[in-house]
Amino acid sequence: MVIKKILLTLTAILLILSVTVSVLAGPVPDLNRRCSITVNFTKSGQPVPGGSIICTRVGYIHKDGNSYSFKRRLDDQDIVNLQDPDTATQLERFVKQNNLSGTVKNVGKNGTVTFDNLETGVYLIRQKDAAQGYLPIRPFLVTLPYLKDGVYVYDVDASAKTELDKEPTEST
């Protein structure tokens, strides 16, 4: 009877530990999967065609045991505060100072541009040429993959904030 209680107790402890470990583990990104970024340009719900965008891989995913972080290319510095616009501006300076190349694509008639077959990592999206009558977008960062609601998304859609160079005026 004592052995039965001990076995039941050990079984219960093992069951609790296995559930705890699986909850703590969380999703694991596939670092070998290819990804894509589609940038959409709209103003008042209408597509904004024209101009060109540069997509540059500025960082990679660093795995340390069961944790992941983002590191900057070339010097392996941590990239933190990915949502902060200042981080994108700092990485834009880093790209220019180190002559990191990127892929340049034109924005299509539907107001979109897609960069595909990308490695996982951190990408800087910046404007090379703005559409006629519009200001250049502010640089921003996209992480591939992107963790959304506990699931990794490998094909990311991003909306660029477009602003008119000057407000249209009515002709008299």
Kindly report, residue by residue over 50-108, the tens digit of the pLDDT. 999 999 999 999 999 888 899 999 999 999 999 898 999 999 999 999 999 999 999 99
**99 vs 10, more confident:** 99
pTM of the predicted structure, to 2 decimals: 0.80
Q: According to the 3-state scheme, what is the secondary structure of the chain?
A: CHHHHHHHHHHHHHHHHHHHHHHHHCCCCCCCCCEEEEEEEEECCEECCCCEEEEEEEEEEEEECCEEEEEECCCCCECCCCCCHHHHHHHHHHHHHCCCCCEEEECCCCCEEEEEEECCEEEEEEEEECCCCECCCCCEEEEECEEECCEEECEEEEEEECCECCCCCCCC
Q: What percent of the chain has pLDDT over 70?
A: 80
Backbone angles phi, psi at 149, to 5 degrees: 55, 40
**149 vs 25, more confident:** 149
